[in-house]
């Protein structure tokens, strides 16, 4: 098997898949500073599709799991599929067309509308229909939501408090503020509620639900400050009653899979559905992603109570049944340690110490995100450096484990939020 990617998500996927008795040899490319028994790293750039193809041949790989969105949106699956020498290769990840669920907000909204999937009212605007866009904005009430159509590294969504600002931003976006990603802008009705993430494994016909999770996107405590890739996550989500989960499955998951099937989209992989639960009971889709979430994977994988690999294998012949993966009854929490300054400018190359003592004891796994090995040392090499996952019977105990780990790990300018999961304690 080969897992492609270099973040905490891929470390967690490889960590879980390594536990399968069916995975006799596991490669991770390029990975990061992580070193785990039985996982061999390959030095390949994800943008170098030819190098990926050669490695698959050389290492006689049967199954490839593609972690991040960029190579999926860029057509890595289609590229590998048309290689005669890779015939029989099983790839976990959607085709470029399927990945448009994440790669184009306009495509995703049209898909949702066509299949009756609850989502915010919207209008897609290009330079051709700016006046219509302005009128649509004026018909909504504050706050205003503008989204660049294409991938914009998590920065393409603007939420603006006045109509004046929204009109100004709309013009700026359409004239290149986000490069090509903003050639089209989706204007959306603002939804208020509470967010959570739903993860689905699908072969385009059947689906398996993975554990739900909630992530914390802002840099500062109390959800203040700039958006980040994610500063922490919790699973399960204690406010999701079984009734609410049933509604999500019926109103969102089933029509999504049916849509993939009816559209004939080649989709064998994960769908990450960002949800807003409105009025405590109505699920709305905020966005689709064509991959697992990060850092959500760092709490979802530890909570899967069975071997994941047999389900991945079933995608090949589209024999996945529909249902839910077994979940362990415990809570998993993760607290992301970042380089000071992130998500703006930050320094890297600082030595990291204390991971071994942090992992000493039951129920703690430190996943690597922005780390690298150099001369026998472990150095920070990115904005998000580590994700400290704690697993315990209660949310509070899991958080205690995560936070104990963060306190035992040191590197210059380390930073983490101190309130991950706090808002959820009253629900437990
Ligand atoms: P997205 O990249 O589409 O997930 O948007 C990023 C974040 O913006 C989401 O996680 C929400 O917090 C917020 N957001 C996006 N769309 C809406 C909306 N229609 N109403 C309220 N908040 C939204
Ligand atoms: N944590 C959000 C994401 O992976 O997009």
Residue pLDDT, tens place only, 184-243: 999 999 999 999 999 999 999 999 999 999 999 999 999 999 989 999 999 999 999 999
Residue range 377-399, pLDDT digits in tens: 999 999 999 999 999 999 999 99
Q: Is residue 296 lining ligand 2, measured as CB closer than 6 Å?
A: yes
pLDDT at position 93 is 97
- The residue whose C-alpha atom lies closest to atom 4 belonging to ligand 2 is 293
Cα angle value 194/281/226 (rounded, 5°): 10
Instruction: Please state the atom number of ligand 1 nearest to the C-alpha of residue 274.
Output: 4
Rounded to 5 degrees, φ, ψ at 212 are: -75, 160
Atom of ligand 2 nearest to the CA of 215: 1
| Average pLDDT of span 269-282 | 96
Residues 170 and 344: their CA atoms lie apart, in Å, by: 24
- Distance between CA atoms of residues 30 and 42, nearest Å: 5
Which residues lie below 8 Å from residue 57, measured CB to CB, with a gap of 6+? 85, 86
For residue 105, the model assigns a pLDDT of: 94
Nearest ligand to the CA atom of 119: 1
CA–CA dist 315, 323 (Å, integer): 14
Q: How confident is the model at residue 178 (pLDDT cuts 50, 70, 90)?
A: low
If you search the block for the tokens 């890779």, which residue do you land on?
86
- Give 128's pLDDT tier (boundaries 50, 70, 90): confident
String of b and e for 326-338 (b: at least 16 CB within 10 Å)?
ebeebbbbbbbbb
Flag whether pLDDT at 154 surpasses 90: no
Residue 95 contacts residue 77 (beta carbons within 8 Å): yes
What is the C-alpha to C-alpha distance for residues 15 and 8, in angstroms, rounded to an integer? 10
Q: Name 280's Cβ contacts closer than 8 Å, sequence gap at least 6.
A: 193, 194, 239
Q: Whose CA is nearest to atom 18 of ligand 1?
A: 190
Question: Could you tell me the CA-to-CA distances from 374 to 49, 368, 371, 379, 410 in Å, in that order?
Answer: 26, 15, 10, 7, 17
pLDDT at 181 over 90: no
d(CA 14, CA 5): 10
Which tokens hold the place of 365?
A: 């796994």
Note whether 292 and 300 are within 8 A (CB): yes
CA distance 214 to 228: 14
Q: Which ligand is nearest to the CA of 157?
A: 1
CA dihedral 352, 357, 363, 369 (to 10 degrees): 10
* Residue of minimum CA distance from atom 9 in ligand 1: 286
Ligand 1: residue of 121, 140, 276 to mutate (most ligand atoms within 8 A of CB) is 276
Residues 4-53: pLDDT tens digits?
999 999 999 999 999 999 988 999 999 999 999 999 999 999 999 999 99
Atom of ligand 1 nearest to the CA of 189: 19
User: From the alpha carbon of 154, which atom of ligand 2 is closest?
Assistant: 5
287 pocket-lining for ligand 1 (C-beta < 6 Å): yes
Ligand 1 atom closest to 284 (CA): 19
Distances (CA, A) of 366 to 6, 199, 269, 406: 15, 22, 25, 9
Measured from the alpha carbon of residue 155, the closest ligand is 1
Q: Is the CB of 294 within 6 Å of ligand 2?
A: yes
Residue appearing with tokens 């028994």: 37
User: For residue 229, how far is its CA from the centre of ligand 1 (angstroms)?
Assistant: 13
Per-residue pLDDT at 232: 98
Pocket test for ligand 2, best of 105, 271, 289, 367 (most atoms within 8 A of CB): 289
For residue 156, which of 138, 134, 173, 143 has the smallest C-alpha distance?
A: 173
Q: Which residues pair with 39 in a beta bridge?
A: 26
The answer to whether the CB of 369 falls within 8 A of the CB of 400 is no
Give SS3 for 200: strand
Q: 120 with 93: CB under 8 angstroms? A: no
What is the rounded CA–CA span in Å between residue 7 and residue 323? 28
Q: Is 150 in the pocket of ligand 2 (CB under 6 A)?
A: no
Query: Is the minimum distance from the CB of 120 to ligand 1 under 6 angstroms?
Result: yes
| Any atom of ligand 1 within 6 Å of the Cβ of 274 | yes
pLDDT of residue 150: 86
Q: Where residue 151 falls among pLDDT bands split at 50, 70, 90? A: confident
Q: Whose CA is nearest to atom 3 of ligand 1?
A: 287
More confident residue, 265 or 211: 211
Confidence check: pLDDT of 177 > 90: no
The answer, yes or no, to whether any atom of ligand 2 lies below 6 A from the CB of 293, is: yes
- Read off the pLDDT band of 182 (50, 70, 90): low
């Amino acid at each position: 098997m080969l897992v492609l990617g270099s973040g905490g998500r891929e470390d967690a996927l490889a960590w879980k898949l390594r536990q399968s008795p069916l995975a006799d040899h596991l490669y991770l490319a390029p990975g990061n500073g992580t070193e785990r028994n039985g996982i061999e790293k390959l030095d390949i750039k994800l943008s170098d599709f030819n190098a990926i193809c050669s490695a698959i041949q050389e290492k006689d790989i049967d199954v490839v799991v593609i972690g991040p969105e960029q190579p999926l949106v860029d057509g890595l699956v289609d590229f590998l599929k048309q290689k005669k020498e890779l015939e029989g290769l099983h790839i976990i990840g959607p085709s470029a067309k399927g990945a448009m669920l994440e790669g184009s907000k306009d495509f995703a909204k049209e898909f949702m509308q066509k299949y009756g999937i609850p989502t915010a009212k919207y209008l897609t605007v290009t330079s051709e229909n700016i006046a219509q866009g302005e009128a649509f904005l004026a018909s909504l009430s504050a706050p205003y939501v503008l989204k660049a159509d294409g991938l914009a590294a998590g920065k393409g969504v603007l939420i603006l408090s006045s109509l004046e600002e929204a009109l100004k931003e709309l013009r700026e976006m359409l004239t290149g503020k986000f490069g090509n990603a903003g050639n089209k802008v989706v204007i959306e009705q603002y939804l208020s509620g509470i967010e959570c993430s739903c993860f689905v494994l699908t072969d385009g016909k059947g689906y398996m639900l993975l554990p739900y999770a909630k992530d914390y996107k802002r840099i500062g405590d109390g959800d203040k400050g700039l958006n980040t890739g994610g500063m922490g996550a919790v699973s399960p989500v204690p406010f999701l009653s079984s009734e609410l989960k049933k509604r999500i499955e019926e109103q969102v998951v089933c029509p999504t899979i049916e849509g993939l099937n009816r559209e004939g989209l080649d989709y064998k992989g994960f769908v990450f559905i960002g949800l807003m639960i409105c009025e405590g009971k109505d699920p709305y889709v905020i966005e689709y992603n064509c991959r697992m979430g990060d850092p959500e994977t760092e709490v979802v994988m530890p909570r899967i109570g069975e071997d994941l690999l047999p389900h991945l294998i079933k995608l090949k012949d589209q024999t996945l049944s529909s249902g839910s993966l077994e979940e362990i009854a415990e809570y998993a929490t993760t607290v992301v340690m970042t380089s000071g300054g992130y998500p703006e400018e930050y320094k890297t190359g600082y030595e990291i110490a204390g991971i071994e003592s942090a992992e000493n004891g039951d129920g703690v796994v430190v996943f690597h995100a922005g780390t690298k090995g150099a001369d026998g040392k472990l150095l920070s090499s990115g904005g998000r450096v580590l994700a400290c996952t704690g697993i315990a019977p209660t949310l509070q105990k899991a958080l205690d484990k995560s936070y104990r780990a963060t306190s035992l790990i040191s590197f210059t300018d380390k930073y983490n939020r101190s309130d991950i999961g706090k808002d959820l304690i009253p629900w437990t």
